[in-house]
Amino acid sequence: MMTYKEYIGAIEYDDEKKLFHGEVVNTRDVITFQGSSVSDLEQAFRDSIEDYLSWCEEEGTAPEKPYSGRFNLRLSPELHREVAIAAIGLKKSINAFVVKAIEDELRTVKL
């Protein structure tokens, strides 16, 4: 993973073509980059982000921000009820309960 101006790039290596290629993963807009070395790849990543931001400015559109901090979560009514009851029991909001559950789960995952 690579990060530049809050945009995150995921990288793969094509052994056949001897080429790194990547894609920005935290936006719905398609932003790709490639390079034959790590330094080429890093520069291509930064250049692609800068090109994207320049294109947005020229078009008069706001670039898609990487993660706003808000997302909708769909639960079954039964699970929603269980979460609400558990949150009340812990004297937390549903949001605080879910954030803590996600943080706890992320501690167990290697990124």
Q: What is the pLDDT of residues 2-42, one digit of tens each?
A: 999 989 999 999 999 999 999 999 888 899 999 999 999 99
The arithmetic mean of pLDDT across residues 50-71, rounded, is 86
- Please give the pLDDT value at position 41: 95
- Please give the pLDDT value at position 111: 62
HSE-up of residue 63 (Cα within 13 Å, Cβ side): 21
The owner of tokens 């052994």 is: 15
Q: What is the pTM (predicted TM-score) of this model?
A: 0.62
Domain 2-59 classification at class level: alpha beta
Q: What is the mean pLDDT of the chain?
A: 91
